[in-house]
């Protein structure tokens, strides 16, 4: 029998195993901005950890277009990792962001994009705490003089986050998911911008640059009932360059 604490991680893995090809084909907005950070700041022999790497698109571009010399690409989904190009200076790891197999201060750069809202606990509160724990782990993995390049999709209010979290908790496992315009098996827990940024500071990160772009989330269709309720209006996508203190 699966432990209750393990169940959300397994559900997230199963979701991405099922949608790997479709999800990985969606090139994330903001890659050029973040690659610009790496072009500006990375030095010869610098390393990169790409968390939630998907098909390795960002990792491969970082290796090809910046001074990053070698990279570790981590994802919870074996199906996602199978889409990665094999490169001599890229090492692929199948693991949860909650249990990353690396020693502290291992990387010059740590990157993730839209990872935290897929960290789902048994409640919205526990999910937010786990997300902040992951930020702390990312800061710890970054060496002195290095940087974290982080992107997260947030929602403007905690009330919206709570409503989305529990609505999806209920709908994701039912046949009503399609009627409501929800991807089957999808459960997410969004932070607010304040929670995301304060989580970085609490974890010991110093925010160097911040870019906020409003985008409409894609996990609800326009025909979905939740969309019509207004829970899916444009939400802030926050790009942050962070220095570990």
Mean pLDDT, range 153-168, rounded to an integer: 90
The most distant pair of C-alpha atoms in the chain lies apart, rounded to whole Å, by 52
- Report DSSP state, residue 137: H
User: Tokens 């991807």 map to which residue?
Assistant: 183
Percent of the chain with pLDDT over 90: 64
Q: Phi and psi dihedrals of 231, rounded to 5?
A: -75, -10
Q: Phi and psi dihedrals of 169, rounded to 5?
A: -55, -40
What CATH number labels 7-156+188-220+234-244?
A: 3.40.50.150
More confident residue, 209 or 213: 209
> What's the pTM value of the predicted model, to 2 decimals?
0.88
Would you kindly state where each structural domain of the chain is located, as residue ranges?
Answer: 7-156+188-220+234-244
What is the secondary structure of 125-173 as a DSSP string? HHHHHHHHHHHHHHHHHEEEEEEEEEEEE--S-HHHHHHHHHHHHHHTT
Mean pLDDT, range 218-238, rounded to an integer: 55
């Amino acid at each position: 029998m699966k432990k209750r604490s393990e169940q959300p991680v397994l559900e997230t893995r199963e979701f991405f195993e099922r949608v790997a090809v479709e999800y990985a084909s969606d090139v994330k907005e903001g890659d050029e901005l973040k690659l610009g950070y790496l072009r500006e700041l990375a030095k010869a022999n610098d390393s990169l950890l790409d968390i939630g790497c998907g098909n390795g698109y960002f990792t491969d571009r970082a290796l090809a277009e910046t001074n990053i010399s070698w990279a570790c690409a981590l994802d919870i989904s074996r199906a996602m990792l199978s889409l990665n190009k094999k490169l001599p200076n890229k090492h692929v790891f199948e693991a949860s962001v909650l249990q990353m197999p690396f020693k502290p201060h291992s990387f010059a750069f740590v990157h993730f994009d839209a990872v935290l809202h897929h960290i789902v606990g048994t409640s919205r509160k526990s999910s937010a705490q786990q997300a902040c724990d992951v930020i702390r782990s990312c800061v710890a993995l970054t060496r002195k003089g290095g940087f974290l390049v982080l992107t997260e999709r947030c929602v403007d209010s905690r009330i919206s986050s709570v409503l989305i979290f529990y609505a999806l908790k209920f709908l994701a496992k039912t046949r009503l998911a399609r009627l409501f315009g929800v991807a089957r098996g999808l459960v997410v827990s969004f932070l607010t911008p304040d929670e995301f940024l304060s989580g970085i500071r609490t974890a010991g990160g110093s925010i160097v640059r911040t870019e906020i772009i409003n985008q409409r989330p894609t996990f609800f269709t326009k025909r979905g009932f939740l969309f019509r309720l207004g829970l899916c209006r444009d939400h802030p996508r926050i790009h942050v360059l962070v220095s570990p203190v």
